[in-house]
């Protein structure tokens, strides 16, 4: 674990030093794969069906925002279809227009996710995307995931099987068949249901208070999605690639394990179970520490010392204000003796000594203080909820 942590720290240091360059390189790679994918799936116009054109467009997309990649890819698709039939181009243009109008209104910052999903399907790793989106994303990630799946199968339906025609009757028949092929594709419907189930299962299980929740969520989601896809393929004869399902399952699990190692490192061996109660509730709390590197440990230690100093400084300021209030209060209440400055000074000194002494507490004392902190926090949350 320490070796893996050191490798991660080295990568983080490199990324922190060359952030702009690395981001641009990643953007260039995504754009290049996207444009090559479009020309591979819909390559009707020989003028733009060239790797050199894809490289030039990828360079242009690199200097633009990420949202430019799906837009340029859409233009490529429409140009290829225009060389085949303007009717096909019009149909696909309307579909893309509807997608972009509704999707960009919801979230223009996630536009690149529309590209990542078809790339994952093209690489035969479809379950990698719903696993990643469910672990690190939110419920809104369902939209680009489902739309990206639809776009992939729409491009796959365009494919080399379409034929150009000039006859009006044949054009109408082919257009109606083309539209039915897009929206009644059995493989597309089964895969949309499968990736949606993977996303839901992973999202639900990862939030459960169980040991190794992310691992269980990843494996469970991928297995359920695989079973749904296999059964749907067998029942409806959708001709889904079995190799794609196997590779997708393997890479989906690998992506989940990598993300857990990167974002959700918990040390279950040092977990603490606490139990306390008040007049209304009984609380059962399980605290699991994270794996921390040396930098994080030093940072946390420094933050604790700063917090301690701030607390002592706040107590001193509070003491000064209270002393001034006592000094300015000339009117004595009957039977009440005002507190002297000496009393406040001794109390503040005692408080400061208690705070400073927490640096050398035993583990049992630390657990008691931690339990007290959890009790106060739980009561505050319950009060706010009420």
- Among 62, 93, 50, residue whose Cα is nearest residue 75: 93
Among 120-124, 159-163, 177-181, name the most confident range: 120-124
Backbone angles phi, psi at 63, to 5 degrees: -85, -5
Choose the weakest-confidence range: 69-83, 261-275, 300-314.
300-314
pLDDT in tens, 306-323: 554 554 444 445 445 545
Which helix (H) or strand (E) segment holds residue 275: the answer is strand 272-277
Yes or no: say if 27 and 66 are a contact pair by the CB < 8 Å rule.
yes
Work out the percent of the chain whose per-residue pLDDT is above 70. Answer: 64
Mean per-residue pLDDT, 5-12: 71
Q: Do 195 and 129 contact (CB within 8 A), yes or no? A: yes
Helix axes of 128-136 and 242-263: crossing angle, nearest 10 degrees:
20
Token pair in block for residue 81? 């279809």
Q: Render 83-133 in DSSP notation, one character per residue.
A: HH-HHHHHHHHHHHHHHHHHHHHH-STTTTHHHHHHHHHHTT-TTHHHHHH
Q: Write out the two tokens for 239.
A: 């001709």
C-alpha 107/C-alpha 141 separation (Å) is 10
Number of CB atoms found within 10 A of residue 29's CB: 12
Give the number of other Cβ atoms within 10 Å of residue 370's Cβ.
14
Task: Give 47-65 pLDDT, tens digit per residue.
Answer: 888 899 999 999 999 999 8
Residue 340 has pLDDT above 70, yes or no: no
Cβ-contact 80, 49 below 8 angstroms: yes
Please state the separation of Cα 318 from the chain's center in Å: 43
DSSP secondary-structure letter at 151?
H
Tens of pLDDT, residues 28-47 = 999 999 999 998 888 788 88
* 206 CB-contact burial (10 Å; exposed 0-12 / middle 13-18 / buried 19+): buried
Q: Please state the φ and ψ torsions of residue 286, each to the nearest 5 degrees.
A: -120, 115
Distance CA 361, CA 370 (A): 12
Q: What are the boundaries of each domain within the chain? A: 270-385
**Local structure of residue 66 (DSSP, 8 states):** T
pLDDT at 116: 92
Look up the pTM and report it: 0.69
Decide which of 294 and 99 is more confident.
Answer: 99
Residues 234-265 pLDDT 10s = 999 888 989 999 999 999 999 998 888 777 66
The answer to whether residue 332 scores a pLDDT higher than 50 is no
Q: Give me 105's structure tokens.
A: 């209104």
* Per-residue confidence (pLDDT) for residue 379, from 0 to 100: 64
Beta bridge partners of 282: 277
User: Are the CB atoms for 112 and 70 separated by under 8 Å?
Assistant: yes
Taking residue 62's Cβ as centre, other Cβ atoms within 10 Å add up to: 20
Rounded to whole angstroms, the Cα distance separating 72 from 77 reads 9
Q: Cβ(131)–Cβ(252) under 8 Å? A: yes
How far apart (Å, rounded) are the C-alpha atoms in residues 135 and 263? 9
CB atoms within 10 A of CB 190: 20
Q: Describe the crossing of helices 113-122 and 142-158 by its angle, rounded to 10 degrees.
A: 50
CA of residue 136 relative to chain centroid, distance: 2
Q: What is the mean pLDDT of the chain?
A: 76
Band of the pLDDT at 84, cuts 50, 70, 90? confident
- How far is it, in rounded angstroms, from Cα 317 to Cα 303? 21
What is the secondary structure of 276-342 as a DSSP string? EE-SS-EEEEEE-PBP--HHHHHHHHHHHHHHHHHHHHHHHHHHHHHHHHHHH--PPPTT-PPPPHH
| Tens digits of residue pLDDT in 203-243 | 999 988 788 888 999 999 999 999 999 999 999 988 898 99
Q: For residue 188, what are its two tokens?
A: 């597309």
For residue 164, the model assigns a pLDDT of 62
Query: How high is the pLDDT of residue 261?
Result: 78
Rg, the chain, Cα only: 31
């Amino acid at each position: 674990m320490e070796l893996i942590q050191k490798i991660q720290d080295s990568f983080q240091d490199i990324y922190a030093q060359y952030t702009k360059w690395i981001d641009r390189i990643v953007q260039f790679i995504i754009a290049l794969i996207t444009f090559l994918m479009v020309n591979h799936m819909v390559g009707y116009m020989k003028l733009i069906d060239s790797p050199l054109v894809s490289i030039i467009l990828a360079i242009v997309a690199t200097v633009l925002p990420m949202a430019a990649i799906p837009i340029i890819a859409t233009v490529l698709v429409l140009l290829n279809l225009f060389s085949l039939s303007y009717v096909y181009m019009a149909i696909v243009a309307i579909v893309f227009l509807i997608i972009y109008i509704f999707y960009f209104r919801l979230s223009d910052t996630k536009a690149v996710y529309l590209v990542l999903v078809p790339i994952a399907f093209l690489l035969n790793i479809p379950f990698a995307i719903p696993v990643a989106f469910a672990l690190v994303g939110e419920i809104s990630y369902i939209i680009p995931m489902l739309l990206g799946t639809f776009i992939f199968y729409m491009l796959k339906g365009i494919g080399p099987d379409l034929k150009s025609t000039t006859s009006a009757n044949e054009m109408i028949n082919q257009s109606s068949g083309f539209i039915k092929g897009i929206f009644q594709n059995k493989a597309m419907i089964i895969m949309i249901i499968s990736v949606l189930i993977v996303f839901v299962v992973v999202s639900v299980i990862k939030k459960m208070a169980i040991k190794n929740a992310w691992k269980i969520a990843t494996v469970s989601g991928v297995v359920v999605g695989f079973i749904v896809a296999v059964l749907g393929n067998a029942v409806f004869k959708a001709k889904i690639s079995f190799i794609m399902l196997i590779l997708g399952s393997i890479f989906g699990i690998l992506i989940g394990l990598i993300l857990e190692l990167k974002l959700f490192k918990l040390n279950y061996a040092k977990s603490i179970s606490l139990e306390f109660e008040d007049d209304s509730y009984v609380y059962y709390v399980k605290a699991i520490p994270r794996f921390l590197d040396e930098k994080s440990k030093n940072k946390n230690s420094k933050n604790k010392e700063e917090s301690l100093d701030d607390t002592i400084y706040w107590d001193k300021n509070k003491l000064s204000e209270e002393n001034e209030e006592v000094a300015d209060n000339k009117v004595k209440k009957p039977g009440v003796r005002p507190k002297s400055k000496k009393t406040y000074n001794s109390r503040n000194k005692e408080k400061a000594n208690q705070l400073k002494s927490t640096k050398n507490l035993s583990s049992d004392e630390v657990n008691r203080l931690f339990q007290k902190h959890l009790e106060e926090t739980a009561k505050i949350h319950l009060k706010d909820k009420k």
